[in-house]
Structure 1
């Protein structure tokens, strides 16, 4: 399984249009190689580089969507994929782009192919989703981009 974007290559800088310095819209994503036995997909975007004085766990959850149809192959720019919206660290659903307060951060887009649908309500947290998907992951893929604000 593979997760890619036409907006940036793995390890490259995420264009500012997809950040709080731009239009704060999601980049286009492509998902390939989903196994035929998949029942649903999960999409998570997070930042593990948050200063510990701001968040003790050092993590910021930017986007959580679960129970996406397994035939999802494209997520267009500035669109929410079909599925159940989870809640991010900002307390809202939907995409919230990179906005690092201090230096360059890494942003991980992750997609998981599951052998089930998750029995979770709307606005479940990333922690809830990760707990529920344990033991159900067939394959996963990841795309990492970086961003540092121009000040």
Structure 2
């Protein structure tokens, strides 16, 4: 079985629903992390890391919207709002600082102009825990993930000028 990441509220290539768009910075969204489900993790998976990244942000290095580490290997889904303070993150999971400057989910918030890609990635790791804190940078998490990655699965959704959210 292939390692896959899915959501009941969008599919790969869809426009991000308004419920998942940021609330602020000129955006009028719900800022709720989406419900996500994954299956087919490789043998030897000891934990997962979940990220949301915008490679099109005009920063020269993209924009990290959500970083969740230390998801137990037994975890196969997250409910809507789990990264938005509504509960649903499993015991031991940790949200680290995003490019908004705080931990937690931050939805799509592109500046006026072109459509941006928002890439949700679940990565299976060969270690039960990454030794990071809520103040760790997404770059540090990425460095550690790349050393312990077994497999990754992604969904990319779109948002920006000219898109219409469902």
Deviations 1:40-66 (A, max 9, x none): 100110101112xxx232x11000011
1:4-43 CA-partner distances (Å, limit 9, x unpaired)? 1111110110111110222110111011112241111001
Please say if 1:106 is aligned against 2:108: no
- How many residue pairs match? The answer is 147
**Where does the alignment leave 5 or more consecutive residues of structure 2 unmatched?**
23-27, 84-88
Matched, 1:77 2:88: no
Q: State whether residues 95 and 134 of structure 2, in contact with CA within 8 Å, keep that contact through their aligned partners in structure 1.
A: yes
Tell me the TM-score normalised to structure 1 length. Answer: 0.91
SS at match of 2:15: coil
Which blocks of at least 5 consecutive residues in structure 1 are unaligned?
none
Q: Which residue of 2 aligns with 1:86?
A: 96
Matched residue of 1:124: which SS? coil
Structure 2 residue 137 is matched with structure 1 residue 125: yes
TM-score (norm 2): 0.83
Answer yes or no: is the 8 Å Cα contact 1:44–1:110 preserved in 2.
yes
> Helix, strand or coil for the counterpart of 1:62?
strand
1:97 corresponds in structure 2 to 107
How far apart in 2 are the matches of 1:5 and 1:121? 28
Structure 1 consecutive aligned stretches of length 4 or more whose deviation exceeds 6 Å: none
Structure 1 contact 64–125 (Cα < 8 Å) conserved: no
- By how many angstroms is 1:71 displaced? 1.4
**For each residue in 1:64-88, what CA deviation from the matched residue of structure 2 results, as whole angstroms up to 9, or x when unmatched?**
0111111111111111333111110
